[in-house]
Amino acid sequence: MSAASELKPLVKSLNSASSEEETLKILNTLKDFAKITEAVLRESKAGLAVGKLRSNASKPVSELAKEIVRKWKHEVEREKAAGGGSKGAAKPPAAKKAVSSSAAATPSTPVTPSGSGGTKFNDTRSAKSDGIKVEYTGDKTRDKCAELIYDALVFDSGAPSELILNRAKDVEKTVLNDHGGTTAAYKAKIRSLFVNLKDKNNPGLRESVISGDLPVSRFCKMSSQDMASEERKRADELIAQQNLFNTLGAGEQEAETDAFQCGRCKQRKCRYRQAQTRSADEPMTTFVTCTVCNNRWKFS
């Protein structure tokens, strides 16, 4: 199914939506639609339908419509930039491919900036690609171990380097303390954490460590078995949190801030909001959305 024909029924129900709630729900679905190009917007008439809602009497509706239009503009601009980019004639087919095959064939893929024309964003970050030099202990073994943990945490993450680097250092320090130095047990533990973190089937573990939902002190005490079951345990929780994230995204957002740097596009144009996602005596969770590439992450 082409992206435009996927959008058409949504546009139709948007035009005939009878309540604010229904309109917001459809708008949110549209907002997360990852295959926006100028042609898709035109063919599906989605641009027109959402554009109209910017002057809707309901403030939540008009704000969300404005946000979506802004986001789409970015994507269309990016599409154009990619089309006229350095690779010249080689680019348009790549952008086309993103729309017709890969993106359409993998609906489970979360918002993937790499699927909308930008080749800059890939899912293989590392300390090296992030330009991070892990040198903070004066001890080569320790620095190397922290770098390993950084690489394992970061490779498919959109979170900022700074946040991930802090977690990696925390992990290294905690393992060091737990094992009384760079002993054989220390190295074995780092290796075990590295292998489990890097596990493609365990994205929840990485995300929990990065976000702080799984405290480093607890993570460092986990066996491989614990880590595997942690993923199963957390799967539902993560879905619930993602839903919360989406719900929060629908409401009024904080103003754009340069307080956060996006781990993907490295720009400092983000919106954020904070919420109490767990018990009242735990710290607030901060949800950040990059307004440039729509990357999202959270931390507490």
Residues at the contact surface with Zn ion, assessed by CB under 5 A: 262, 264-265, 290, 292-293, 295
| DSSP assignment of 67-91 | HHHHHHHHHHHHHHHHHTSTTGGGH
Nearer to Zn ion, 25 or 80 (CB): 80
Give the shortest CB-158-to-Zn ion separation in angstroms: 7
Residue 196 CB, shortest distance to Zn ion, in Å, is 28
User: CA-CA distance, 27 to 19, in Å (whole number)?
Assistant: 12
**Alpha carbon 275 to chain centroid distance?**
18
Q: How far apart are CB 294 and Zn ion at their closest, in Å?
A: 7
Question: Between residues 150 and 260, which has the closer beta carbon with respect to Zn ion?
Answer: 260
> Does residue 136 contact residue 146 with C-beta atoms inside 8 Å?
yes
DSSP state of 257: B
Report the nearest approach of Zn ion to the CB of residue 198 (Å).
23
Q: Read off the tokens for 130.
A: 């992030």
Which CB atom, from 277 or from 295, has the smaller least distance to Zn ion?
Answer: 295
DSSP line for 116-150 = GT-SS--S---TTTTT-----SS-HHHHHHHHHHH
Closest separation in Å from C-beta 256 to Zn ion = 12
| Closest separation in Å from C-beta 210 to Zn ion | 16
> Around Cβ 94, how many Cβ atoms within 10 Å?
15
Residue nearer to Zn ion on the CB measure, 125 or 264: 264
Other Cβ atoms less than 10 A from the Cβ of 221: the count is 13
Q: Which residue has the tokens 């094992």?
A: 179
Which of 74, 187 has the CB closer to Zn ion? 74
For residues 3 and 265, which CB has a smaller minimum distance to Zn ion in the complex? 265
